[in-house]
Structures are given as C-alpha cells and as structure tokens.
A and B are shown apart, each in its own frame.
Chain A
C-alpha cells in the first residue's frame, strides 16, 4: 500500500467520522424539534434560525461544564465506561456501506471496509457495546445507576437473540454476510414495479428486527434502563459534563447504526430510481440511503412521542415468549421455502 493511498483512506475515515458526529449532533436537534411539534410546542428556537445552532451551543456548554467525579466511584472503570460506550457505538460504521461500489485509485469511496463478515462484525460490536452501560452503572456506586446497568444488560442479552434470529432470513435470501453483497442481492424490481427489497419476503423478520433494534438501543417504549421517573437517569446518573455527553452521543450513534442496518438489510440500501444526468445519478444512491435512514430516525422519535413505557416483566416476557419464537418460526419457514424452491 503506497503512502498516497494510505493518506486517501485516512482522509476518507476522517470525513465519514465528521459526517457521522455531525449527524449525531443534529439527530438530537431533530428529536427535540420533532417531539416539540408533536406536542404542540416550538422546541429550540433561540440559537440560530429554527434553533439550528443549538447542537453547537450544547457542545460548547457540555465541554466547559465542571466535570464532577463522585467520591465513592470505582475510578478506573468509571472513567473507562463512557469511552467503551462511544467507541463501540462508532466502530460499527467501519463496515457500513452507504453507496454503490465506486473505486477511485483502488479505494472504495462509499465504504470504509468491505468485510466478508460485515453483518457479524456489527452484531459483535453491538454485543460489546453493552459493557459501557453495565460498567457505568456498576462503577458509579449508586443504586439508581446499578439498577439501570442491570436492566440494560438483561434487556440487551434478551433482545440480541431476537436480532440475531431475525436477520438469518435475510442471510438465507442473499447467501452472504457481506453487507455490500446483501444490498446488491436486492437490486432491480420484480414484475417491473415491486423493488426486490427483503422487506417484502421477510416482513415478519423485519418486524422482529425493528422491535428488537429499538429495545437494543434503549429507546421508548423499551427505555427502562434510563426510566426517568424511577431511576433519575439510569446508568449515567452520576456522570456529568463531557462524560455524560459521550453516553448521549453513543445512544444516538447506536440509533443511527440500527437505522442503517434496517435500511441495508431490509430496504435495499441505496437502491432507488435513478434518473437525470450522470452527475445526478452518481449522487442519487447516497440520497436514497440517507432518506431511508432518515425515515427510521423519524420512526424512533414518533414512537417516543406516542407510546408509554413497558413494565419490566412485560419487556422480558415480550422478548422471550413472543419475539424469539416468532423470529425462529420465520427462520424455519424461510429455510423451508428456499429448500423447496431450490430443490
């Protein structure tokens, strides 16, 4: 690998990271604004037009606030936890493709790395992500944090299973673990009109994936780890300043990852109608991808504005007694249909 190519790759990583962090910052603005309008309020309006500079103001505020470390904490783990949460949240984007394969000087423009096991990589990084929350809850040495951490770990173990089972149907259809290959298997349209997206043959799997992904990212109606009325703020109760912000960023980055995965696995990724001049055609896939991800982010906020929180036993019963059996049934049915079709 020559030096210019290496520099090019590094520049690509920096650009992707910058776009990602900006998106995370504006996802917060988007959620506050949308939530406000759904509740007949205005939301942020003071900083910039429509409050558009609010994320920047928030970042400056969080960076300059006093960083309080309570005296009873287990210091090393307490300091490690927010880093663990944020790093695992950002790491998934190393394998997420956001556009068709476009090689420039031997470097793929629209993906950082096309791993053969891309999907498993995202799942494994997700399974490591729970440590950030659990260790934060434990090391804070406070009962609210501990309860939040416990709930978070139990919830994530339970719903990880459902996520894993619900994506196997997609794997059976595409025959690959590479995210790019999965998206490419969804190109084109059946009978000229219906896109070959996995959501149509795998609508049960899609439903399971969506519910489990919302639970996995600790969002309403599954936000028990940080239920304000019972636990103050759950696992990050004792964190302040930038460490608190890191948990916040990790949560929104996880939401983005889940939205990206739903788009890639079930909604055909960047595939969509292409038209116009060549320059427009080169950019349109990125637009379709962003639009689909945006729809899922909208859904997240919509659910938060609409649904009340589950009770803890309901959450566990729903995961184990409904979601896992349904995902398993979908898996058996899919493999049966494919076996009959192929044989």
Chain B
C-alpha cells in the first residue's frame, strides 16, 4: 500500500516538475510547482514526518506560492515567447540530463549503503521533539537563521521604499 502510494506521489512530483518546464504560461507553471510541493509533502507524510509535511504545505504550497501567483496576476504576465532553441541544447540536452541524474544516483548509492536507507514511518513526527531539538541542540543555527531572515526582511523594505 505504502509502496504503491510512494510511486504514485513520486511520479506526480516528477510529472509536475516536467510540466512546470513545458508550460508556456507562468500561471500554469506556478500551478505545477504547487503540485510538486504537495506531492513532496505527501512523501514526507509517508516517512512519518507529519510536522515537516504540514509545514511544507503551509509555508511553500500555501504562503510562498500564493505570493508567486499574486505577482504573476498583478503583472498580468502573458505567455512567454520562445526563441529557437540552441542546437547544442536540442541534441545534447537530454543525454546530459541523463548523465547528471546517473552521477547523482551513483554518488548517493555509494555514500548511503542500501541497508541504511530510510524506510516508511522512519521519523515518527513528534512535533514536541522537533521543538526540543530546535531550542536545545540546534539553538545557535536556529537563531542565526532567524537573524538572517530578519536582515532579508529589512533589506526588502529598504529596497522597496520610495526614494524621497
């Protein structure tokens, strides 16, 4: 059952990702990206990481993608115009992608021995446990990241402000 669902959602994630590139209208691409993120959330859920899955939906599929769609709508972006693809991309694109994918697979396979791979339900997602780890074990990285985000927010405000 889990295996079947894994292949369904994995196929959905890859399918949406390919569709994201193939679509010519920005809104359709954005919708495909939402599909990718939702499929990934389902995969997290099957690993048992409930909190991560829901955070993925709330933050990425919910908040960030709504902003994407909002901006696309606000700018009223039309279909993109395609130039003739370069000859190099046309003939070498697909083989090179395959080379890249197989290289990543080979490295992952060598780094992670097969018997130590993650299995379904490996991360029983105690939300309280994530919080405890975040505030005890990983306190410094957590705070550094929040300061980084604060700096980014202030930077965005400064950039967006009208010059007087």
Contact A130:B50 (CB < 8 A) given known A120-B58, A124-B57, A150-B73: no
Count residues on chain B whose CB falls below 8 Å from chain A CBs: 23
Q: Are A138 and B73 in contact (CB under 8 A)?
A: yes
Q: Are A156 and B27 in contact (CB under 8 A)?
A: no
Q: Are A134 and B66 in contact (CB under 8 A)?
A: yes
Chain A residues, CB < 8 A from B70: 134, 150, 153-154, 157
Q: Are A124 and B54 in contact (CB under 8 A)?
A: yes
The closest CB in chain B to the CB of A120 belongs to B54
Q: Are B51 and A120 in contact (CB under 8 A)?
A: yes
Is A244 close to B, CB under 8 A?
no
Taking the nearest CB of chain B, how far is it from the CB of A275, in angstroms? 37
Q: Are A123 and B58 in contact (CB under 8 A)?
A: yes
> A204 to B64, alpha carbons, bound, how many Å?
28
> A40 to B67, alpha carbons, bound, how many Å?
43
Chain A residues, CB < 8 A from B74: 150
Chain B residues, CB < 8 A from A137: 73
> A266 to B135, alpha carbons, bound, how many Å?
28
Chain B interface mostly = helix
> A77 to B50, alpha carbons, bound, how many Å?
30
Q: Are B62 and A77 in contact (CB under 8 A)?
A: no
Q: Are B66 and A130 in contact (CB under 8 A)?
A: yes
Most buried by B among A120, A123, A160: A120
> A121 to B125, alpha carbons, bound, how many Å?
14
The closest CB in chain B to the CB of A171 belongs to B127
**What sequence of 0s and 1s flags, for each residue 238-260 of chain A, a beta carbon within 8 Å of any chain B beta carbon?**
00000000000000000000000
Is A115 close to B, CB under 8 A?
yes
Contact A128:B57 (CB < 8 A) given known A150-B74, A154-B70: yes
Residue from B25, B28, B51, B62 within 8 A of A127 (CB atoms): B62
Chain B residues, CB < 8 A from A157: 63, 66-67, 70
**What sequence of 0s and 1s flags, for each residue 142-158 of chain A, a beta carbon within 8 Å of any chain B beta carbon?**
00001001100110110
Given contacts A116-B125, A124-B62, A134-B73, 20 further A-B contacts (CB under 8 A): A117-B50, A117-B127, A120-B54, A120-B55, A120-B58, A124-B54, A127-B61, A128-B61, A130-B62, A130-B66, A134-B69, A138-B69, A149-B73, A150-B74, A153-B69, A153-B70, A157-B67, A157-B70, A160-B63, A177-B127
Interface residues of B (CB under 8 A from A): 25, 27-28, 31, 34, 50-51, 54-55, 57-58, 61-63, 66-67, 69-70, 73-74, 125, 127-128
